[in-house]
Amino acid sequence: MIQKLTLGEIIPKKTWLRLAITWIVVLLFSIYGHDVMQGTMSTGTAIAVFLLLLATIITAAFGVVKEADELAHKLGEPYGTLILTLSIVSIEVILIAAVMLGPGDNATIGKDSIFSVMMIIMNLVMGLCLLAGSLKFGEQEYNAQGSLAYHSMIIMLGGISMMLPNFITGAGNGEFSFVQAIVLSSMVAVLYGFFLYFQMTTYRHHYVQPAVGMMEIRYAEAQKEKEAAAQDQLTAPKDFRELFIRSIVLLGMILPIVLLAHHMAVVVDFGIKAAQLPPLLGGVLIAIIVFTPESMTAVKAALNNEFQRAINLCHGAFVSTVGLTVPAVLVVGLIADKTVRFGLAGYETILFVVTLLLSLMTFLGRRTSPILGLMHILLFIVFIMLIFYP
C-alpha cells in the first residue's frame, strides 16, 4: 500500500520558486526580446541580458539535475541513469543546436563544446577532485577496471569524432562527408549504447567503490543488501502520481532552456564579435552552463571519500557527451544543411593527446595522488591561456 503524498510533499517550495522565476524570465523575453533577436543592443544592455540569461539557464539546469536525480532514485537502474544522462546531454544539444541555427557561421561549435567539456571535466574538475580528496583523506581508492573502460571509450569515441576528420579526405577542412557522418554517428551511438548497457548490467561492479582490506567481506555483504533493496524497489509498486508530477516538473525545467537558448546564442555571438574574443569561448560557455551542477557534485563526492563516484560523474559525463552529442550535432547539421566541423586544431590535438596520456597515467593504479591533481589543473590553465594566446 502506497501512502499518497501531497503536492507540497512531492515538490518542495524551493523547486516551485525556481520554476516560477525561470518561466517569468521566459515570459519577459517573449514580450521584450525583440531587440535581443535583432542584435541591436548596446554593450551595457548586452551584458545585462547575458548575465540574466546565464543565471536563468544555470538555475534551470540545476533544477533539471535535481529532478532527474529524484526520478533516478525512484525508478532505479538502468532507467534512472538514462533519465539523468539524457537530461544533462539534452541541455548541451539544445544550446549547441541554438548556436548552430543562430546568426553567423558556427561550424565548429559542436567540436568547441565537446573539447571544452573534456578540458573542464577531465582536467579542472578531476584535478580538483584529486587534489581536494587527497589533501583531506590521503590516498583514495577507486575501481581501476571501470576507469580503464571509461578511458577506452574516450580514446575510441574522441579519436573517431575529433581527430580522424583532420586525416581523411571527407568533405575537406576537418568535415565529414554525408556518408561518413551517417555511418560514424551511428557507430558512435551504438557503441555508447552497448557501453551503457554493460555498465548498468553485467559489469556494474566495475563502477562501484572497491573494498578495502579487512572490510572486503562486510563490503560484499553490504553490496548484496543494497542490490536486494534496489531489486525490491524495482518490483515494488510505485506512486505513479509522484513520478508523473516529477516528470512534468523536469520538462518544465528543460523547456525554459529550450526557449531561451536562441536568445543566449544571439547575445553570445554579439558579445564575442563586439569584444573580438576567440570563437572557442562560445563552446567553453556551453560546457560551463551544462556541467556546473555535475562538477560540483563530483567535487563533493571526492570530499566525502567517494572517489569512484567522482570518476563516474566526470568520466561518465564526457563519455556521454561524445556518445550522444556527436550523433545529435551531425544529424542537426544534415537536417538543417549546416556545416559541421569536428576536426581539432593543431594545439587542440596536442592538448587532447596530453590529457588522455596524463589521465591514463593518473588512473593506472588504484590510489590517487595530489601531485597528479595539480598536473591536471595546470593543463587546464594552459588550455585557457591558449584560447587567448594561441
Indicate if the pLDDT at residue 3 is higher than 60. no
Going by pLDDT thresholds of 50, 70 and 90, the confidence category of residue 7 is low
Residue 324, in any domain of the structure: yes
Number of structural domains (the chain) is 1
Q: Where does 282-341 show beta strands of DSSP type E?
A: none
**Residue 282 near residue 112 (C-beta atoms within 8 A):** yes
The answer to whether position 243 is within a domain reads yes
Tally of CB atoms within 10 A around 195: 21
Q: Give per-residue pLDDT as tens, 304-362.
A: 888 888 888 888 888 988 888 899 889 988 888 888 889 898 899 999 999 999 999 99
> Is residue 218's pLDDT more than 60?
no
Question: Domain for residue 2, yes or no?
Answer: no
pLDDT of residue 216: 45
Q: Is the pTM of this model over 0.75?
A: yes
pLDDT for 207 equals 82
Q: Is residue 350 part of a domain?
A: yes
265 part of a folded domain: yes
Q: What is the pLDDT of residue 153?
A: 94
**What pLDDT score was predicted for residue 238?**
55
Q: Is residue 27 part of a domain?
A: yes
Q: Looking at residues 64-68, what average pLDDT do you find?
A: 79
Q: Is residue 117 part of a domain?
A: yes
CA distance to 11, 12, 158, per residue, from 2 (Å): 17, 20, 46
Report pLDDT for 223.
53
**Cell for 53?**
540569461
Q: Which of 111, 117, 105 is nearest to 341 (CA)?
A: 111
pLDDT tens digits for 39-51? 566 777 778 888 8
Nearest-Å Rg of the Cα atoms of the chain is 22
Taking only the tens place, the pLDDT of each residue in 23-39 is 999 898 888 776 665 65
Helix (H) or strand (E) segment spanning residue 370: helix 370-388
Tell me the β-bridge partners of 367.
141
Average pLDDT over the chain reads 81
Q: Domain span at residue 340?
A: 8-388
31 belongs to a structural domain: yes
